[in-house]
Amino acid sequence: MSRLDVTEKIISTKVSKGLSWADVAKKVGQSKEWTTALCLGQMTATPAQAKALGKLFGLSVEEQKWLMVVPYKGSLPTTVPTDPLIYRFYELVNVYGTTFKELIHEEFGDGIMSAIDFKMDMQRQADPNGDRVNIVMSGKFLPYKQY
């Protein structure tokens, strides 16, 4: 058994039960964005969160323990993503990455945006020309230190 096996069981059970990630998040007590990342193997559950997911997805005690193991971050099977939706984010970084960097450095100074002290919100935004995907990312600014 591996973390990947548990992830596959979660996805399979989610589909068979007709659950949304928002439904799952309510049981876990976290945002749908963080909970989805947890269920896909990118975050670490607390014992209470693992138990809630265990109950929802019919996970054994052993499977619940896998949810509490610190994962290897990064879930893409290839360096350049081949899934069209994920590729668009890769494309965004390729096209706008230097712009993000320049504007963040101009506003905050030399440093990085944390992906650890981080929040994300994804919402559907109605638009007469076709609904839009609205993603807000908020990461703590971490300045480089002099030593």
Nearest to 112 by CA among 97, 132, 127, 122: 97
Nearest to 114 by CA among 144, 140, 93: 140
Rounded to 5 degrees, what angle do the CA atoms 102, 86, 137 make? 45
Torsion of CA 132, 134, 135, 138, to 10 degrees: 160
Q: Secondary structure of 53-78 in the HEC alphabet? A: HHHHHCCCHHHHHHHCCCCCCCCCCC
Q: Which residues lie across from 112 on neighbouring strands?
A: 142
User: Amino acid letter at 76?
Assistant: L
List residues with catalytic annotation.
88, 91, 114
